[in-house]
C-alpha cells in the first residue's frame, strides 16, 4: 500500500488538509478569559460545559473527560466491567475502543459490521454472545447511527450493558432523538477533527445517576466530591479516596473552547450535511464508486464522507485514488484499519470466531474524503474533479 504513483489533474497552490478546525474570535476570547481567571484545570467551566452538553443532548447526566478514549475506559468500569468478562465490539473502529476493554482486564470479542451503516451488525452481535458477555460497544462510525435499537433489544433481556461509542456522532439522531440517552452510557469525542472540538476532550452521558457518579469519581483519582472546590471559599481540605481511579478529567480552558463550539454545533452540522449532499450529487453513478447514504430512520452527523472504490473495476483501487488525491495536494484518510489486522491484537492472543468478511471488504475499498465546515465551494469542486478524473483514468 502507498507505493502507487498518482497523476496530477489540477493545480492547487496549497495543500487541502483532510480536516481543518473552524475556530474564530469567539473561541480565542473564551479561552483567553479562562486563562486570565486562573482556572487552568478542572473548574467551573467544566461543570458549565457538561450541563450545556446535557441540555443539548437531552440527557440528565453528562460528564466531561479528557478524551473519548478515557471516557470509554471509565464508563466500562462504571458499568462494572472487569477481569473475566467479555465485551463484544466491531473490529472496524479505532484502537481506543479495544484499548478500553483490555485495560479493564476484560476479553474483547470482535464481530462484523452491517455494510449499510458500518456499525455493529445486530445478528453478528447476537451470534457472539456467551455466558461471559458483560457488555457490548456499538460504534456509530462516520456519524451514521448503527442499528442501536435492535442491539438494545438483544442486550437488555440478557442483562448485557450497552456502551455506545459515538466519537463520530455528536448531534446524530435516531428517530428524532439525539444520541446520548438511548443506552446505559454513551461516549463522545471532542478531538480536533470531530464534530465540535475542545482540542482534546470527551464526554460520557447516561440516564443513570449512579453510573454518572462513578464516572466522575473514577475520572478524578477515585476521589469523593469535586476536588476543584477545595480551592474555593466554599471548599474543604478533607477528601477520601473511595476507589482507585485515574486523572482523566477535562480542564477549564478546553471546556471554554468546547462551550463556544457547542453553540455552533447546529451550524457545523448543517454545513457538513450540505457538503455531503454536494459530494453525493457530483459523484453519483460513477463506475466503481459506492457512496455513503443516510437511512431514513436517522440523522447522519456526517463526521466523515467515506466512499468505497471497487478494486476489480478501478486500477489500483482505493490506494490509486488516494495517490491521485495526494498528487493534487488533497488530503484523505482511511477509517479504520480493522483491529484484528494489528500486531497488538494478535500478540495478545485474542481470538474471534467468524471471518469478518464485511469488515475486511470495506477496509479494502474505503477512503475518507475531506469534509469540514470551513471547506470552500472551490475546495469541494477540487475534490470532486480529482475523484472523477482518477476514476476515469483508472477504470478498467
Mean pLDDT for all residues in the chain: 94
How far is Cα 364 from Cα 360, in angstroms, rounded to an integer? Answer: 6
Q: What is the pLDDT of residue 358?
A: 97
Q: What is the pLDDT of residue 225?
A: 65
Q: What is the pLDDT of residue 226?
A: 58
* pLDDT over 90 at 58, yes or no: yes
How far is Cα 259 from Cα 149, in angstroms, rounded to an integer? Answer: 30
Under the banding of pLDDT at 50, 70 and 90, the label for residue 1 is low
Indicate the angle between helix axes 265-283 and 377-394, nearest 10 degrees. 30
Catalytic residues: 194
Mean pLDDT in residue range 98-103: 96
How far is Cα 243 from Cα 351, in angstroms, rounded to an integer? Answer: 32
Q: Is 356:340 a contact under the CB 8 Å cutoff?
A: yes
Secondary-structure class of domain 265-394 per CATH: alpha beta
In the chain, where are the structural domains located? 25-263, 265-394
**DSSP percent split of the chain into helix, strand, coil, nearest 5:** 40, 15, 45
Mean pLDDT in residue range 116-136: 97
Q: What is the pLDDT of residue 350?
A: 55
Q: What is the pLDDT of residue 28?
A: 98
User: DSSP alpha helices (H): ranges in the chain?
Assistant: 25-37, 44-57, 68-78, 95-103, 122-128, 148-155, 209-218, 252-263, 265-283, 317-327, 343-347, 357-365, 377-394
The phi, psi pair for 158, rounded to 5°, reads -95, 0
How far is Cα 146 from Cα 150, in angstroms, rounded to an integer? Answer: 9
Question: What torsion do the CA atoms of 170, 172, 174, 180 make, to the nearest 10 degrees?
Answer: 10
Q: What is the pLDDT of residue 345?
A: 78
Q: What is the pLDDT of residue 355?
A: 76
* pLDDT over 90 at 304, yes or no: yes
Q: Is 392 helix (H, G, I), strand (E, B) or coil?
A: helix
Q: What is the pLDDT of residue 228?
A: 53
Closest by Cα among 270, 268, 269, 312 to 290: 312
Q: Is 202:219 a contact under the CB 8 Å cutoff?
A: no
Q: Is 1 helix (H, G, I), strand (E, B) or coil?
A: coil
**Comparing 225 with 308, which gets the higher pLDDT?**
308
Residue-level length of the chain: 396
**Comparing 216 with 345, which gets the higher pLDDT?**
216
User: Model confidence over 23-43: pLDDT tens digits?
Assistant: 999 999 999 999 999 888 999
User: Model confidence over 312-364: pLDDT tens digits?
Assistant: 999 999 999 999 999 999 999 999 999 999 988 766 545 554 579 999 999 99
User: Model confidence over 355-395: pLDDT tens digits?
Assistant: 799 999 999 999 999 999 999 999 999 999 999 999 999 99
Q: What is the pLDDT of residue 120?
A: 98
* DSSP state for residue 120 in the 8-state scheme: B
Asked if domains 25-263 and 265-394 share a fold, the reply is no
The architecture (CATH level 2) of 25-263 comes to: 3-Layer(aba) Sandwich (3.40)
Q: Is 230:89 a contact under the CB 8 Å cutoff?
A: no
Amino acid at each position: 500500500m502507498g507505493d502507487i504513483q498518482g497523476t496530477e489533474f489540477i493545480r492547487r497552490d496549497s495543500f487541502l488538509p483532510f480536516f481543518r478546525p473552524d475556530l474564530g474570535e469567539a473561541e480565542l476570547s473564551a479561552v483567553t478569559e479562562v486563562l486570565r481567571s486562573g482556572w487552568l484545570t478542572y473548574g467551573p467551566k467544566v461543570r458549565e460545559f457538561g450541563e450545556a452538553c446535557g441540555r443539548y443532548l437531552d440527557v440528565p447526566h453528562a460528564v466531561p473527560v479528557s478524551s473519548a478514549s478515557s471516557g470509554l475506559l471509565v464508563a466500562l468500569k462504571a458499568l462494572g466491567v472487569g477481569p473475566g468478562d467479555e465485551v463484544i465490539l466491531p473490529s472496524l473502529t479505532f484502537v481506543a475502543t479495544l484499548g478500553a476493554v483490555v485495560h479493564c482486564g476484560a476479553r474483547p470479542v470482535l464481530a462484523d459490521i452491517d455494510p449499510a451503516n458500518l456499525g455493529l451488525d445486530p445478528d453478528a452481535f447476537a451470534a457472539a454472545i456467551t455466558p461471559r458477555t458483560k457488555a457490548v460497544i456499538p460504534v456509530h462510525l462516520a456519524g451514521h447511527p448503527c442499528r442501536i435499537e435492535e442491539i438494545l433489544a438483544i442486550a437488555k433481556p440478557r442483562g448485557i450493558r450497552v456502551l455506545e461509542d459515538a466519537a463520530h456522532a455528536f448531534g446524530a439522531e435516531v428517530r428524532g432523538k439525539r444520541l446520548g440517552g438511548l443506552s446505559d452510557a454513551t461516549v463522545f469525542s471532542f478531538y480536533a477533527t470531530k464534530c465540535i472540538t475542545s482540542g482534546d476532550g470527551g464526554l460520557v452521558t447516561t440516564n443513570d445517576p449512579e453510573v454518572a457518579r462513578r464516572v466522575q469519581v473514577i475520572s478524578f483519582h477515585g476521589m469523593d466530591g469535586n476536588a476543584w472546590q477545595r480551592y474555593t471559599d466554599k471548599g474543604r481540605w478533607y477528601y477520601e479516596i473511595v476507589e482507585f481511579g485515574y486523572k482523566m478529567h477535562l480542564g477549564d480552558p478546553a471546556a471554554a473552547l468546547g462551550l463556544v463550539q457547542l453553540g455552533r454545533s447546529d451550524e457545523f452540522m448543517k454545513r457538513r450535511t450540505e457538503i455531503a449532499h454536494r459530494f453525493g450529487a457530483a459523484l453519483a453513478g460513477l463506475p466503481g464508486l459506492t457512496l455513503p447514504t443516510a437511512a431514513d430512520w436517522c440523522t447522519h452527523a456526517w463526521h466523515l464522507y467515506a466512499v468505497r472504490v471497487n478494486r476489480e473495476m478501478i486500477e489500483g483501487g482505493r490506494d490509486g485514488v488516494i495517490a491521485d488525491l495526494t498528487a493534487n495536494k488533497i488530503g484523505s484518510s482511511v477509517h479504520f484499519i480493522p483491529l484484528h489486522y494489528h500486531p497488538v491484537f494478535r500478540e495478545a492472543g485474542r481470538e474471534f470466531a467468524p471471518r469478518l468478511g464485511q469488515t475486511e471488504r470495506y477496509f479494502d475499498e474505503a477512503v475518507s474524503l475531506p469534509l469540514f465546515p470551513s471547506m470552500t465551494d472551490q475546495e469541494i469542486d477540487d475534490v470532486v474533479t480529482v475523484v472523477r478524473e482518477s476514476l476515469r483514468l483508472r477504470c478498467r
